[in-house]
Chains A and B, each alone.
Chain A
């Protein structure tokens, strides 16, 4: 039958490797200054979409909203088997909270034909797990969160196993549906050599343009535009063009994007100050340790 899957992916700062100034003074994230990775649970979502394509046929489109650098995450999706990649990038989308982000992404998804929308359960920078459900609400489709496994897919009926904390549920519904996928669902495949070769020149127009300008400072606007078209065309023919949409392309009302579209605002940021308290060093010796245990027993902390 074939199912059209859209996988929403995010390039995130590697929160285990933070260096330098991570926050701007206004409380927003200084994304450009951090090593960036494919959000781990989005890889699980992509893997589930690819497994659906392997088994049933259809297409997998990877979509991301972010800075131009997010095109890198889309390349990684192409290397793993996505058929198409779309970058939504627009400076007016900056400082979007989860509501504004879900609004923009839902506008983009509406432009595409789909049966199943997949996201990772949550991103490792915000950890909110909010964008997936909010997109489902805006699209008016059911959501199944914490998906661990696809149990069955037949016609328009989909059956899934979802985690409910200390247990699981078997849930059935009809497509179209949005799924959020957890890390325990699968082991994401590694990029395939053949696909890496096919898509080794995959780029978004903004990346090509940046390169053209850097290599040809003498070019005027008309020349840049014409060279850009010349570069884009063969990529498109080969299926290696990373499509690029701005907020106007997705038909988003700017009032619901960026800061003005974000109900949550930062009131204050504080550095973490560890509260001082009586504290003593203990030697890692039998005597030191025995002394500490003696005190804990005396204070009736342990019996």
Chain B
């Protein structure tokens, strides 16, 4: 038997017949067919999570608020790059923040064995450039 999908007994919701009449097929279907063949547009979805966002969500936000001043399990990361110094006294820049993520601290695990240098760079860029988020994150 031929493999099939989506041939349901009665429901036309979502999986039903494509609602087009024969006249519609002639007047609409043919141009659509030709247009579909001639204009090969990219099929990528534009609204999926970015890798950087996913890293920040999974690796930072469990312990840090990103847009609230108070501490969660650890100090807030809101406006991190607008601060003069980190808590270890070093100036806030790409290198010192990357080092902190890689080395950790007394209250933060070291991510050097978990994240690649490229992933750490990606997190730093996100923290530096991302617009404000919902205040409870």
Genuine A/B complex: no
A residues contacting B by CB (< 8 A) are: none
